[in-house]
Structure 1
């Protein structure tokens, strides 16, 4: 484990990025007793806001939800700077801003987030996406003028967006080169269920095809040509083909990077004066595991709180069981753990056809739990995985078996 600067010597901390990770880190520093100066550098011309609603309720109601009130930043003595960092001067640990001035500090936290991927065939077309609040506002402004909406990408953002747009009375077609919706994040049972639910609501889903050409025929409208030769005429096209961590600043500062900014168990980069958290950080979730990047609010908040504790003098290695959620119309998907591609799975069903859970096991150990419309079971699953409580597939599959009993008396319940 690297050793950074002694927390007692830190007089100033600069956080680059004011999304969930950066904002949480700033307030957590105060919560854990850091009394030096905190500068939160926000590259957007808006106070920090919640991003998950942008693909859902924001499109219908147009209201953004702030992460904290303006008064909260003042009360916590967090200086919010609306500028972009164009360069990190490592020699002096100075942040050079695009407006011409600089910020000196004792430690830097990179909370740079991720940016939407772009399709090569869409270059120059300026298609709609959900990169930030401004792009979400542009998409919301365009929707009233569109009858047919094409969404490229059947991941979480694409499917959440589809549900919101269908609810607005639009014709929606979703296109993805994957064999099933949410292929990278969910098991086949969950994928099949949600795909069927979207079709019942009226969305058309075309899978196993790529987009080979996009030609604009009006200010918004386009014709999409698919790899199977089919053409789709749409009044509005939205790109939702995943995201890539923002690495430009890290590379400029000669930090180690891979698919993200590489950090150790303390979330320190190759320069111990610089930490990285959230959607831009590449880390190993547990000892000996493959290093990954997790783009989730939970991961951003957990890592932010860990770094804040460390910078305030509390020494612990980062560990947290990842969990995610996705609201798609009236279906709520919640996942704890990382769903393995190859696993032994059992389905735990309830009397309600729309409520069930998928338990995935690897080497007889519980790896993940996906729950549909079953929040109470998700909470139990998080506790089971968080405490590494043993559970047998037969217990998970039996709806009469009380999962909570494993938490009350793990050793005794495992024998039942």
Structure 2
């Protein structure tokens, strides 16, 4: 039944880019999918972490056919098929398309598609060719890309796909020639497609060397809805304390409400590029224990800000997270201890394990730095002081009455 509900799921833009077929560059191969259509969930940009390849899917066929094609192609890849042989299986399913590839194996597209193949030779020559139907491949060991694009029904920019597909392919070729990493190129290609063709809803992207995915950052929140518009701003972030908020709420803030620092505006494609690109300043943050909306995003920003200021220290990262909880920045989870974090400086990664709060509470109980025995003693003292005050009030009243009696 799930397949029929999601029948509209169909990426109309698939792009895969390989800039370093040796696999040595941590950002040397990437891929992504998006569409104007609904239901652009992660099934449209699957990544195999074991074998380092992506499988992008889409087409005019129904969701059931697409899922069967994916299953068959995944099985073929597990049994050692080449990307071309696995992608060719899409032709057995009406209206379905598969794009498969990885840094060391090249890439291929098969089934029902309208795409450009980009090949960049070692001397800088860029060759771009148009293809429809059958199987087309980027040879193993080559730098290049495959980009498919069609306009979805109902897209107000219907009729732009042919031009945008060609222009984006040319720009991809230039960026590969000029030495940009694949993760950056995929993000910029998605930005161009989103703005110029209207096929703009996530979807998401993957880094096929470092095995990083945007996950559910841009996918729809509910079935039969669109994902995040990749041609718009995504968030505002405080680089000092890590406070962040997404749009449209971000419209209400010009400075950080926590530390009063300026906020940095980040577009959706900038966030996508940062999320899948490995750099000396990049931190991969994984969040476990709660699927509360927005928790992963804000935790990432807090952890990244903490690492930037204090380094990969479990105690300081935990302190930054707990400060965020105290400030109301992080809600619905309990305070964390350093033991709740999995910090791996060698791969620039941090895992955060939360415990959700019970009964729908948004913040944990106050953690007062005073022993309960001390509070009991203070309570007793306060009670004693209260009695003394009462006695003094009574004594004062009687003293005044006695004084008045004598005067009179």
Shorter-chain TM-score: which interval?
A: under 0.3
Larger helix proportion, structure 1 or 2?
A: 2
With the length of structure 1 as denominator, give the TM-score of the two structures: 0.28
Larger Rg: 2
With the length of structure 2 as denominator, give the TM-score of the two structures: 0.28
